[in-house]
Amino acid sequence: MLRAWLTSLAIVLSWAANADGPKGLRYAIQPKAIAPHTFFVQGLPGVASAENQGFNSNAAFVVTSEGVVVIDVLGTPALGQALLSAIRHVTQKPVKRVILTHYHADHFYGLQAFKDAGAEIWAHRAALDYLDGEEAPRRLAQRAGDLAPWVDAKMPLVRADRWLDKDETFTLGGIRFDVAYMGPAHSPEDLIVSVPSEGVVISGDILYGGRIPFVGEADSKRWLATTERLLALKPKVLVPGHGAISTNPGKDLALTREYLTYLRQVMGKAVEDFTPFDEAYAKADWSRYAKVPAFDAANRINAYGQYLVMERELLEKK
C-alpha cells in the first residue's frame, strides 16, 4: 500500500516538477517509486535524437534521512536540471552525491546542475582516458550537431570530484550503498550501485531493456562475463541503463546477452573465414533484432566494431 501511494505521489509531483523545469522540454521527468526510498526515471526508446531531445537514458535516486544519492543524470544540461527539479519535488533534502555508472554522453551531460547544487560526483578512474583523449570532444561535437540547442559544442564536460579505483561502500542516512567496478564491459569504467536494504541494483549500460545496446569496439567477451556476475547478485529490482526496470533480470534483459553472443558468432566466423566485413554483414541474418529500437542506428556500427574486436582476439591467439 505504501509503495503504491509513493508511486502515485511521485508521478503527480514529477508533472509539477516539469512545469518549473527548463522551458521547451517536450517530455516530463517522471520519477517512479520502485522501493521504499528508491526512485527511477525512464528515458524513451532508441538513441538520442532531436526528436527525443536527448532523453533516452535512465536515472535513479535514493532518498535518505540525510540527503539524496543520484545515479546517472541524463543526457543534456536541460534534462539534468529537470531531473534535479523533479527530485526537489519529491524531497527538499539536499543531493549529497552523484554516482556515474560511466562517462557516456547520455548518462553524464546533465551533471552541471548537480555540480552547481553542491553534490559530490563519483566515477571510476578509467573514464579519464576518455575525457583526456580525442573521443570526448568528438562526441560533444556530434551531440551538439544532433541535439542543438540542447547540447552546445562549448559546453564544459564536468569531471568527477572523486575518481574511484576500487569498490567502495558508504552509508548515508542509515542506508548502505555498494559501488562495484564491473569494467571493462560496455565501457572501461563501468560501475554498478547496489542498495541492499532496498533490493535494488542500478547496472548502467551493462544491461539494456528493450533496445539494441551500443557496443562499438567494447570488449564483448568481458561484457558477457560481467552480465553473469551482475545477474548472480539476484536483485529484487534491476535498473538498466536504458529501458524498463526488471524484477526478473535473467529473463527480461536476456536481449543484451543474446545480441552480444550473436555479434561475436557472426563476426568471429567472418574473421576466421577471411570474409570482408561488408560481405559478412550483408549475409548475416539480422531478422531477430531488426525491429528492436535502436537497431537501424546502432547495428552496423556494432557489427563493424566487433569485427575489429574479433580480428584482435584472433591475432592474440596466434
Residue 276 lies inside a defined structural domain of this protein: no
What average pLDDT score do residues 38-65 get? Answer: 95
Residue 255 lies inside a defined structural domain of this protein: no
**Domain total of the chain:** 1
pLDDT at 317 over 90: no
Instruction: Write down the pTM of the prediction.
Output: 0.89
Residue 262: Cβ within 10 Å count? 17
pLDDT at 5 over 50: no
Residue 108 lies inside a defined structural domain of this protein: yes
Residue 269 lies inside a defined structural domain of this protein: no
H or E, element range at 250: helix 249-252
In this prediction, residue 23 has a pLDDT band, given cuts at 50, 70 and 90, of: confident
Computed over every residue of the chain, the mean pLDDT equals: 92
Residue 1: all three cell numbers together: 500500500
Structural domain boundaries, residue 200 = 2-250
**pLDDT tens readout for residues 161-174:** 999 999 999 999 99
pLDDT at 2 over 90: no
pLDDT at 284 over 80: yes
**pLDDT tens readout for residues 223-261:** 999 999 998 899 999 999 999 999 998 888 899 999 999
* Closest among 52, 51, 70, 50 to 61, alpha carbons compared: 70
CATH of the domain at 114: 3.60.15.10
Query: What is the per-residue pLDDT for 12?
Result: 38
% residues pLDDT > 90 (the chain): 84
Burial class (CB in 10 A: 0-12, 13-18, 19+), 267: buried
In this prediction, residue 22 has a pLDDT band, given cuts at 50, 70 and 90, of: low
Query: What is the per-residue pLDDT for 131?
Result: 97
Distances from the Cα of 90 to the Cα of 2, 267, 297, angstroms: 15, 47, 35
Residue 318 lies inside a defined structural domain of this protein: no
Which amino acid appears at position 251 of this protein? K
* Closest among 169, 189, 186 to 178, alpha carbons compared: 169
Distance CA 27, CA 55 (A): 8
Residue 284 lies inside a defined structural domain of this protein: no
